[in-house]
Amino acid sequence: MKKFLFSLLIVTIYFLVASTVLAANEKSESAVIVGSGTNLNMILKHNGVKKNVQAQINGMSTYTDVLTKNIKGIKLSQKYAINNFIVYGTKETKTLTTSTRYQLITSYQKKYKKLPLSQIDWINLLKMNSSKKTICNNYECLISAASKCQPISVTISYTMPFLFDPNITQSGKTLFKIQKATGVNDCVLTFSSPTTVFSISAAGRKAASSKGSTDTQINAQLQTMNDSAKSTSGIQSICSSKAGIIAAYLTDAKNLKLKTKSNGQTTTYTTSSGHELVCKI
């Protein structure tokens, strides 16, 4: 019993210390964010990065102007602080992408019905980030992780025209995983499609009918395609290469610009930069 109580005490102390350190980080980082509104060097020095004028311009037009458009009484320094957080982040949020930091602000805005403007506001926002695991569900954060071969698991939903028949829509989810490896090809990408569904719109059905296909034939084709998709659901492709090549492949996959060739056992993807990524089933 004494041994159990001692162990419980140690665990309790650990979490108290951890929470105290976390609170201190949130307090200091919130001060940096607020201060950067009038002194950009505060956040640059804090993160150990250089000023990126173009990133600031892009952040302002893409994210910050959207957030602050209808906010009355907001000071210019507060607007700059928001933009600096989105563009540069902090030590605790630098692994997030700009869009994810923007989403963190929108989550705060939804919860508190206001933007983070004061230091207390920013402390609460940083607490929101530290209280939950960051979820990546888009190509932007996946590509960012791939470029450094940071281990990550990402599920991305998609909808696109079917490669061999633009009248048919292919939608579903793709599960990507990135892991470190040893050797020349020190990064591994695996991906699979747990869900794939083929469908056709009314306009697509009309276009197919104009080419002589009956509704029965169209439905039969869709049924065959969906049955085939179910039979291959979850089959993994494993690709070993350099982090940069994997990131290039994912960038082209996002933009639907991949060139492929397959022999049934391996598929070779040629990126727009001319690199090849070989994936085995």
Q: What is the residue extent of each domain of the chain?
A: 2-130, 139-280
What pLDDT is stored for residue 134 in this prediction? 53
* Residue spans of the chain under pLDDT 50: 1-24
Q: Pairing state of beta strands 187-200 and 165-180?
A: antiparallel
Q: What angle do CA 131, 133, 136 make, to 5 degrees?
A: 140
- Sorted by sequence, the CB contacts under 8 Å of residue 29 that are 6+ apart come out as 46, 90, 91, 92, 122, 126
What pLDDT is stored for residue 19 in this prediction? 33
What pLDDT is stored for residue 135 in this prediction? 62
What pLDDT is stored for residue 109 in this prediction? 92
Taking residue 275's Cβ as centre, other Cβ atoms within 10 Å add up to: 16
Least Cα distance to 28 among 91, 81, 97 occurs for 91
